[in-house]
Amino acid sequence: MTDTVSIARTEDELDTLVSIAIRRAELLDDIHSPAADDAWHEVMVWEQRLAAITEPSGVAGGVARVGAVWAALAAGNRAEAERLASKYLAESPLPAERQEAIARVFQEDQERLSQRYPALAKSGRLAELAEWRASVTSQNPRVFPAAA
C-alpha cells in the first residue's frame, strides 16, 4: 500500500490534490454533511504541504498559506488556523497582500459564523463556540484518521 506522503511530490501534483479536496469539501458543505469538517481538514493538510515546498513570495506559496489558514477555519479548528497564521505571517518574504488576505480570512470567518449562529453573535458569545469546538475536538479523536 502506498503511503499518502509519497503520493504527491511536485507542486503540480499537490495543486491537483488541493483542487480535488476543495471541490469535495465544498460539495459536503453544500449538503451540510457532518463530514465537511474532515474534508476541510484534508484541504488544510494539502495546502500546508504545498506551502512547505513553495516560496512565500511566490503566488503559489502565498495562496497555499492563505488556503491552509482558511481551510483550518472551515474545518472548525480556530487554534490550528491561528497557529498557521502566526507561522506564515512570520515569514518575511510573504507579500503584504497575502498577509492582508490571512487577516481577511479571520474576518470572513467571523461574518460566516455570525450568519450561521445569529443568536450567539447577537449576544457576543461566538468565542464560546470556538472554545466548545476546541474542547470537543480534543476529547473526541476522529474515527477515521485525517490525511496527515
Q: What are the residue boundaries of the structural domains of the chain, listed by start?
A: 8-138
Of 119 and 145, the one with more pLDDT: 119
Model pLDDT, residue 113: 86
Read off the pLDDT of residues 91-142 as tens digits, 9 standing for 90 and up. 989 999 999 999 999 999 989 889 988 998 889 888 888 777 777 766 665 5
What are the phi and psi torsion angles at 69 (to 5°)?
Answer: -65, -45
Q: If you average pLDDT over every residue of the chain, what do you get?
A: 87
Model pLDDT, residue 147: 45
Helices of type H across the chain: 11-30, 36-53, 59-74, 78-89, 96-116, 118-122, 126-139
State which H helix or E strand residue 21 sits in. Answer: helix 11-30
Residue type, 128: E
Is-contact 40 75, C-beta < 8 A? yes
Read off the pLDDT of residues 5-49 as tens digits, 9 standing for 90 and up. 455 689 999 999 999 999 999 999 999 999 999 999 999 999 999
Of 143 and 58, the one with more pLDDT: 58
pTM of the predicted model, to two decimals?
0.81
Model pLDDT, residue 45: 96
Read off the pLDDT of residues 44-95 as tens digits, 9 standing for 90 and up. 999 999 999 999 999 999 999 999 999 999 998 889 999 999 999 999 899 9
